[in-house]
Structure 1
Amino acid sequence: MTISLRTIKITLATVLAILLAEMLQLDYTVSAGIIAILSVLDTKISSLKTAGQRIVSTIVALTIAAVLFQLVGFTTFVFGLYLLIYVPIAYKLNVQAGIAPCSVLVSHLLLEQSTSFSWLMNEFLLMVIGASLAVLFNLYMPSKETQIQEMQHTVDEKIKGILLYFDQTLREGFSGNDDYQLIQELETTLDDAIRIAYTEFDNQLMKPQFYEIHYFEMRKVQASILKQMATNLRFCHLPTKQNKILAGLFYLTAQQLHESNPGTFLMQDIQELLNYFRTSPLPQSREEFENRAVLFQLLNEFTRFIETKQLFYEKYAPETK
């Protein structure tokens, strides 16, 4: 949610909460506005959850305060005693979001030296009005679906760029740390994408979709595999025929990289390449042996890269857009 949208929501919710409280002839009407300010949160789900917690917390707080004030008296000491009892109970009930606003409401009872039904109802209604109006205004949340789709495309393009860099490295040799920079940029983009996908999920009250979250998490696993491959690629020094074949596989994968590609044919290509490696003449030198070992390691890691996508596709293909 942008700062401008949040500002508008807070302003409208606060003003209307105060006006509604005044229409109902409540006391301490500004408190309803303050509660509205505290209840305008980042997502619909968080606003609803917090509003519910605060209403439950209000009932608990007012009950404890009313009993203590009636039994012991209206003093600052009793207010402290109320906090000693109420705060741990609020945490125990997982309604700690209401500790601050509810304690403000209880302070009104202390100031008025009364726990009459009318005053208890006054404080309860202040909470209901403030929390409800915040939830009402938070029901409008601009969809991030377009942004998520753009980030999916960006992530796929970054992975494609990394695979093409691997292709170039195997053909021409290692030439710098560009691969690490590319992978770091990919990881940063994925972290942002996952955060935005979770926000969008929390704004869907009806039939929320996990697809985008799982998609980015799948790509994050692949990014981790690519990082390990980049490390091993540094030990592949000799220009061999096997290098070029594996480079071609990276290039082919980059060209076929897409959300809806299950990777079936790529796995077949990997198996064919593994068979080719196994039937190739044995290395004639230590350098060739080490180079071949690195290629095998790269191929095994690349197999995990493709399998990660296959598992995702098998589970979520029906949701693919």
Structure 2
Amino acid sequence: MKFIGYRTIKTAIGAAIAMMIAKELGLKYSVAAGVIAILSTQSTRRQSVQIALQRLGAFFLALAISTILFLVFGYNPLVFGVFLLIFIPLAVRLKVAEGIVVNSVLVTHLLVENTVAVEWLFNELSLMLVGAGTALLLNLYMPSVEGQLKEDQSYIEETIKTILINMAQALRNQHVTIREEELFNGLESRLEAARKRAYRNSNNYLFSESNYYVEYMEMRVQQLHTLKRLRGHFRRFFMTYEQTIMMAEFTEKVAKELHEQNTALGLLQDLNSLRESYKVMNLPSTREEFENRAMLYQFMNDLEEFLAIKYEFKKNHTN
């Protein structure tokens, strides 16, 4: 585990640079620029831009309210309290709440200096621009996570493949692998981490949408829910019949053809053929066979949904 994260390093560098720039520009309270840089350093480019814009909008709101109050009622703590009573609800209502703390601090500079002269207003605006601007520039570079996402995809697909092969074997042998719980837990944990990574990757694109990995992970999450339902049927399978063997062979085929680029259309067609084959086969001759066939039919429906989820995903991402 890393002791110091990438974002921590950027925050430290950004704060130092912002304070140095503010000092070189001759701005009063130059340390405030460093504080603004710290608060403006975010995990993604898009988030950084959104927060910077919120803080800038909140700045002009705070400036207008504080200027009026200080000119009319003077410079004292009670007036500052009134300022907060007006500013905070308005900032929340206007959806610029991220700027409440920073701009409240900037207004205290006016309170301490007992002035709302133009040069002081410009000083506070400059502190905001230097601090937020420095953070934005540093956030333009974000380490790519696409390599990690590719590794996530590989792990997820191999694990789903293993789960389906194990299900095919269980249909033949009526015996569930002891690794079943481990496989499902590992898949669920990796999917959750990959999902967060995919959203972070998407939010690093400022002027274009890159939602492929997000939608891919969401598709696999849906398939995981279906796999859990498929697993649940094995609590009720208790005999092996010809139809069960046929379903086992088809489940194994699904596992072997499972990969990112497979549209699942061919597999859905094969499943429909299998369904038609069942219709012309002899009816169950015993109650036990009837119940087993009913469970098998539910298993087939859930497997169809598993494939349909992939088909819909690929249909929306055809080149």
TM-score (ref. length: structure 2): 0.96
Q: Is the 8 A contact 2:166 2:177 kept in 1?
A: no
Q: 1:91 maps to which residue?
A: 92
RMSD: 1.5
Aligned to 1:192: 193
Contact 1:260 1:317 (8 Å CA) reproduced = no
Greater shift in the superposed pair: 24-33 or 186-195: 186-195
Query: CA–CA distance in 1 between the matches of 2:4 and 2:316?
Result: 38
1:177 deviation in Å?
A: 6.2
Distance in 2 between residues matched to 1:220 and 1:74, nearest whole Å: 57
CA distance in 2, matches of 1:290, 1:181: 29
Is the CA contact 1:233–1:298 (under 8 Å) kept in the aligned structure 2?
no
* Structure 1 stretch displaced more, 172-181 or 46-55: 172-181
Structure 2 gap segments, 5+ residues each:
none
Letter in 2 for 1:164: I
| Aligned residues between the structures | 318
Correspondence 1:45-124 to 2 at 5 A: 45-124=46-125
CA–CA distance in 2 between the matches of 1:5 and 1:175?
Answer: 44
Give the aligned partner of residue 36 of structure 2.
35
Matched, 1:315 2:316: yes
Superimposed CA distance per residue, residues 234-291 of structure 1 (whole angstroms, 9 cap, x where no aligned partner): 2111011111111111111111101111112211221121112111111111111000
Q: Where do 5+ consecutive residues of structure 1 fail to align?
A: none
Residue equivalent to 1:275: 276
Shift of 1:16: 1.3
Letter in 2 for 1:65: S
Report deviation, 1:220.
1.0
Q: Which amino acid aligns with 1:163?
A: L
Q: Which amino acid aligns with 1:116?
A: A
| Alpha-carbon offset, residue 203 of structure 1 | 0.7
In structure 2, distance between residues paired with 1:277 and 1:111: 84
Shift of 1:233: 2.1
Deviation at 1:229, TM superposition (A): 0.9
Give, in whole Å, the separation in 1 of the partners of 2:118 and 2:304.
Answer: 70
Distance in 1, Cα, partners of 2:52 & 2:58? 10
Matched, 1:216 2:226: no
Query: 1:17 Cα deviation (Å)?
Result: 0.9
Contact 1:180 1:227 (C-alpha < 8 Å) held by counterparts: no
Residue number in structure 2 paired with 1:228: 229
Deviations 1:104-131 (A, max 9, x none): 0011111111111111111111111000
Structure 1 pair 139/298, CA: closer, same or farther in 2 (3 Å)? same
Aligned residue number for residue 169 of structure 1: 170
SS at match of 1:89: helix
Secondary structure of residue in 2 paired with 1:316: coil
Q: Which amino acid aligns with 2:302?
A: E
2:177 & 2:250 partners in 1: Cα distance? 22
Compute the TM-score of the two structures, normalised by the length of structure 1.
Answer: 0.95
Structure 2 counterpart of 1:32, which letter?
A
Distance 1:276 1:2 in 2: 60
Taking the aligned partners of 1:3 and 1:198, their CA distance within structure 2 comes to: 23
Find the aligned partners of 1:166 and 1:135 in 2 and give their Cα distance.
50
In the alignment, what sits opposite 1:7?
A: 8
**Amino acid of the structure 1 residue aligned with 2:114:** Q
Paired with 2:190 and 2:201, the residues of 1 have a C-alpha distance of 16
